[in-house]
Amino acid sequence: MEGPPVTSLLTTSLGDTPLLGRGKVRDLYAVDGALLLVATDRISAFDHVLGSGIPGKGKILTQISLFWFDLLKDLAPNHIISAEVSQFPASLQPYADQLEGRSMLVKRAAMFPVECVARGYLAGSGWKEYQTSGTVCGIALPAGLKDGSRLPETLFTPATKSQDGEHDENISYEATAAVLGEADAAELRRLTLAIYERASAHAESCGLILADTKFEFGRTPEGIMLADEVLTPDSSRFWEAALWNPGGPQPSFDKQFVRDYLESIHWNKQAPAPSLPQDVVERTQAKYLEAFRRLTGRDLKL
Residue limits of CATH 3.30.200.20 in the chain: 1-108
Bridge partner list, 195: none
pTM tops 0.75: yes
d(CA 259, CA 230): 22
The rounded percent of the chain whose pLDDT value lies above 70 is 96
Sign of CA pseudo-dihedral 246, 251, 252, 253: negative
Per-residue confidence (pLDDT) for residue 164, from 0 to 100: 54
> What is the average pLDDT value for the chain, to the nearest integer?
94
Model confidence at 248: pLDDT above 60: yes
Per-residue confidence (pLDDT) for residue 255, from 0 to 100: 85
pLDDT band, residue 254 (cuts 50/70/90): confident
- For the chain, what's the residue count? 302
Range list of H helices, 33-158: 57-72, 96-99, 124-133
Least confident of 145-149, 165-169, 195-199: 165-169
Per-residue confidence (pLDDT) for residue 177, from 0 to 100: 96
The superfamily (CATH) of domain 1-108 is Phosphorylase Kinase; domain 1 (3.30.200.20)
Residue limits of CATH 3.30.470.20 in the chain: 110-243
Task: From 162, 302, 150, select the one nearest 237 (Cα to Cα).
Answer: 150
CATH architecture, domain defined by 110-243? 2-Layer Sandwich (3.30)
If one compares 254 and 180, the residue with the highest pLDDT of the two is 180
Each residue's pLDDT tens digit, 284-295: 999 999 999 999
Model confidence at 279: pLDDT above 70: yes
Which residues 6+ apart lie within 8 Å of 208 measured at CB? 238, 239, 240, 241, 253, 294, 295
Per-residue confidence (pLDDT) for residue 1, from 0 to 100: 38
Least confident of 96-100, 223-227, 268-272: 268-272
Sheet architecture: strand order including 80-82: 19-22, 26-31, 34-39, 103-106, 80-82
Each residue's pLDDT tens digit, 150-192: 999 999 999 987 655 556 788 899 999 999 999 999 999 999 9
Per-residue confidence (pLDDT) for residue 64, from 0 to 100: 98
